[in-house]
Structure 1
Amino acid sequence: MAAPFKSLVDDYSRYLKAFQLFLERSSEHQCMQDFIRGILPDILASIGDGKGTLNVMGIGSGAGEMDLEMLAQLHMKHPGIRVDNEVVEPSSEMLHKYKVLVSKTSDLDYINFTWHKMTASEFEEHWKEENIMKRMDFIHMVQMLYYVKDPEATVSFYRSLLNKNGKLVIILVSGESGWGRLWRTYRNQLCNTEISQCVTTGDIKSFLEAKGIPYKNYELPSQMDITECFTEGNEQGELLLDFLTEVIHFSKTAPPDLKAGVLDLLRHPDCSKEVDGKIIFNNNLGVLVVDP
Structure 2
Amino acid sequence: MAMRSLLSDHSHYVESFRLFLEKSTEHQCMLEFFQKKLPGIIESIGDGKSTINVLSVGGGAGEIDLQILATIQAKYPKIIIHNDVIEPSAEQIITYKERVAEASNLENIKFTWHKETSLEYENRMKASKEMRKWNFIHLIQMLYYVKDIPATIKFFHSLLDPGAKLLIILVSETSGWARLWKKYGSRLPLNDLCLYVSSVDVEEILDAAGLNYQSYELPSSMDITDCFLDGNKNGELLLDFLTETCNFTATAPLDLKKEIVEDLKKPECSEERGGKYFFNNNLCAIVIEP
TM-score, reference length from structure 1: 0.96
- Say which of 80, 93, 114 aligns to 2:91: 93
Q: CA deviation at 1:111?
A: 1.4
Task: Name the SS of the counterpart of 2:92 in structure 1.
Answer: helix
Match of 2:131 in 1: 133
Residue 237 of structure 2 is aligned to residue 262 of structure 1: no
Q: Deviations over 1:137-194 (max 9, x none)?
A: 0001111111111122111110110011110001111111000100111111125241
Task: Name the SS of the counterpart of 2:4 in structure 1.
Answer: coil
Match of 2:61 in 1: 63
Q: 1:167 to 1:191 in 2, by over 3 A?
A: farther
Work out the CA distance in 2 between the residues paired with 1:236 and 1:253.
Answer: 17
State the superposition RMSD in angstroms.
Answer: 1.3
Q: CA deviation at 1:197?
A: 2.8
Q: Structure 2: which amino acid aligns with 1:66?
A: I
Work out the CA distance in 1 between the residues paired with 2:100 and 2:135.
Answer: 21
Q: CA deviation at 1:33?
A: 0.8
Task: Name the SS of the counterpart of 1:138 in structure 2.
Answer: strand
Q: Deviations over 1:36-95 (max 9, x none)?
A: 111111101121231111111000101111111111110111121111111111111111
Task: Name the SS of the counterpart of 2:132 in structure 1.
Answer: coil
Match of 1:275 in 2: 273
Q: CA deviation at 1:100?
A: 1.3
Task: Name the SS of the counterpart of 2:197 in structure 1.
Answer: coil
Q: Structure 2: which amino acid aligns with 1:32?
A: M
Task: Name the SS of the counterpart of 1:149 in structure 2.
Answer: coil
Match of 1:199 in 2: 197
Match of 1:30 in 2: 28
Match of 2:101 in 1: 103
Match of 1:210 in 2: 208
Gaps of 5+ in 1: none
Match of 1:47 in 2: 45
Match of 1:229 in 2: 227
8 Å CA contact 1:191–1:197 kept in 2: the answer is no
Match of 1:153 in 2: 151
Q: CA deviation at 1:22?
A: 0.8
Work out the CA distance in 2 between the residues paired with 1:105 and 1:259.
Answer: 43
- The aligned length equals 290
Gaps of 5+ in 2: none
Match of 2:12 in 1: 14
Q: 1:118 to 1:184 in 2, by over 3 A?
A: same
Task: Name the SS of the counterpart of 1:217 in structure 2.
Answer: strand
Work out the CA distance in 1 between the residues paired with 2:83 and 2:18.
Answer: 26
Q: 1:174 to 1:191 in 2, by over 3 A?
A: farther
Task: Name the SS of the counterpart of 1:185 in structure 2.
Answer: helix
8 Å CA contact 2:3–2:189 kept in 1: the answer is no
**Identity of paired residues, percent?**
50
Q: Structure 1: which amino acid aligns with 2:96?
A: Y
Q: Structure 2: which amino acid aligns with 1:282?
A: N
Q: Structure 2: which amino acid aligns with 1:138?
A: F
Q: Structure 1: which amino acid aligns with 2:193?
A: I
Task: Name the SS of the counterpart of 1:187 in structure 2.
Answer: helix
Work out the CA distance in 2 between the residues paired with 1:97 and 1:257.
Answer: 39
Q: Structure 1: which amino acid aligns with 2:205?
A: F
TM-score, reference length from structure 2: 0.97
Match of 1:123 in 2: 121
Work out the CA distance in 1 between the residues paired with 2:95 and 2:250.
Answer: 33
Task: Name the SS of the counterpart of 2:106 in structure 1.
Answer: coil
Work out the CA distance in 2 between the residues paired with 1:39 and 1:220.
Answer: 11
Work out the CA distance in 2 between the residues paired with 1:133 and 1:27.
Answer: 36
Q: 1:212 to 1:191 in 2, by over 3 A?
A: farther
Q: Deviations over 1:200-239 (max 9, x none)?
A: 1111011111222111101111101111111222211111
8 Å CA contact 2:220–2:283 kept in 1: the answer is yes
